[in-house]
A and B are shown apart, each in its own frame.
Chain A
Amino acid sequence: MAGETAKVDPMHQFAIEPMFGTEGLELAGYNIAFTNSSLAMVIAAVLLWVFVLGGMKRELVPGRWQMAVETFTGFIDDLLEANIGKNGKKYVPYIFSLFMFILFANLLGLLPLPLAMLGVHPFTFTSHFTITGVLAIMTFAIVLIVGFGKHGFHFFSLFVPHGTPVPMIPIIFLIELISFLFRPFSLGLRLFVAMMAGHVLLEVLASFVIDSANAGIGWGVAIGGPSFILMLAICALEILVAGIQAYVFALLASLYLNDAENLH
């Protein structure tokens, strides 16, 4: 690497590579190679399992770890209670899984040095729209199933707000329907774009540091220094974004579920 002209490709971090020689793995004609993305999912899932397991001591007076886990479950419970009401309790397992899985994925994707030195790079699978899209479509499917299951065709009244003048109903219905159908896209794209943008920005700033240092000590101090300081600040911002995007995903999912549960 040192011999080449140091060219940093900020998009390379999102490349998917099969691991453990599974590139030929197939299921019903589809390739299901175990990739670095799959590995990141497994790590997130296992860490999440360990985290929640630590909160299963079921003590009357909770320890720190149990308290942390109960804070998260209570947080999701309150979120659903506030947005849906008493009926929201049955969605706690799903929204909790969604929120924590995305949160762990976002935070683990930010993990820097120690692994990278061994040549193992953290992979942020939430920066792939195949992943966020599936999560969004899954959530949207639940909204549709609950909505039609509970209200039948009455669910379409969701698209006609109260007090709409009769001549306006066809147009409003169309507009509301389109905005409703756009929900899975906005849900999936928001998370994907936010995660990808932050990672690209960090990578670009990192390339500034490396390239300017390679160009000489003066350039390194003049350009690399400020870039490095900016990177530190953006890392902090990215940790915030990781939490906020997971929260937004869970919040919007619960708002959509509220539409399905209670209509307007």
Chain B
Amino acid sequence: MPQIAQLAETYASQIFWLLLIFGLVFFVIGRGMVPKVMETVGFRDKQIADDLAAAQAARDAADEQEEAWRKRENDNRAAAQDVISKAKAKAAASTEKKLAKAQEKIDDQAAEAEARIAAASSEAAAEIESVAAAAAQDIVVRLAGIKVDKATASSAVKKAMANG
């Protein structure tokens, strides 16, 4: 086993070169290069974390804006609804008023027309009476040769017409 057989002659060389080379490895690589590599990793991790935080903040802001927009939109919609209902009510009221006015006019005309009809019919009835009285005078003259005055004839006519 050379590890033991050569121990006496080689241990000094082994230890010397190991300490020299491992020392170089430790100071040049371990101390000099590894921290820089890890710094790069740390820098990258930080960058990623920052980016993620910024993205989260942007998303939050967007959500907030959307919320505000939604609220505004709802308010606007409600206001529009209000305006529409008001306009509807106004229109309905004015329509009603116009209709009432027109109805009144129509009623007036109808009443006037009825009055005229009533006047015309009573006039017509009076004319019939006078005509009937004249006719009755004539008939009495011709049949009985008696002259009847106008007043008697018309009262007789009235009596007959009242009897139907």
Contact = CB atoms under 8 A, between A and B. Distances in A.
Interface of A: 11-12, 14-16, 18, 25, 27, 30-35, 37-38, 41-42, 45, 48-49, 52-53, 55-56, 58-60, 62, 66, 69-70, 73-74, 77, 92-94, 96-97, 100-101, 125, 127-131, 134-135, 138, 192, 196
B3 A128 contact: yes
B22 A101 contact: yes
A77 B37 CA distance: 12
Interface residues of B, number: 36
A138 B30 CA distance: 15
Nearest to A93: B30
13 contacts: A27-B16, A31-B13, A32-B13, A35-B10, A38-B14, A41-B22, A52-B29, A60-B47, A97-B22, A97-B25, A125-B18, A130-B7, A196-B3
Contacts of A131: 14, 18
Main secondary structure, interface of A, reads: helix
B30 A94 contact: yes
Which interface residue of B1, B14, B26 has the most chain A CB atoms within 10 A? B14
Main secondary structure, interface of B, reads: helix
Given A41-B21, A92-B35, A134-B18, 19 more contacts: A16-B6, A37-B10, A37-B13, A37-B14, A38-B14, A41-B18, A42-B21, A52-B33, A56-B33, A56-B36, A58-B36, A70-B37, A93-B30, A125-B18, A130-B3, A130-B18, A134-B14, A134-B15, A135-B18
Given A52-B34, A58-B36, A135 B14 contact: no
B3 A30 contact: no
Nearest to B42: A77
B161 interface: no
Given A32-B12, A130-B11, A93 B22 contact: no
Contact of B29 (A12, A35, A49): A49
A58 B29 contact: no
A36 to B, nearest CB: 11
A129 B55 CA distance: 56
A48 B25 contact: yes
Nearest to B14: A130
Interface in B20-53: 21-22, 24-26, 28-31, 33-38, 40-41, 43-44, 47
B149 interface: no
A108 to B, nearest CB: 13
B1 A11 contact: yes
A129 B12 CA distance: 13
A17 to B, nearest CB: 9
Given A60-B47, A73-B41, A196-B3, A96 B14 contact: no
A93 B37 contact: no
B145 interface: no
Nearest to B17: A38
Given A32-B17, A37-B14, A101-B25, A92 B38 contact: yes
Contacts of A135: 18, 22
A130 B35 CA distance: 30
Contacts of A49: 25, 28-29, 33
B35 to A, nearest CB: 7
A18 B43 CA distance: 47
A97 B22 CA distance: 8
Given A27-B16, A45-B24, A73 B34 contact: yes
Query: Which 5 residue pairs spanning A and B have beta carbons closest together?
Result: A93-B30, A30-B12, A97-B30, A38-B17, A130-B14
A58 B1 contact: no
Nearest to B24: A45
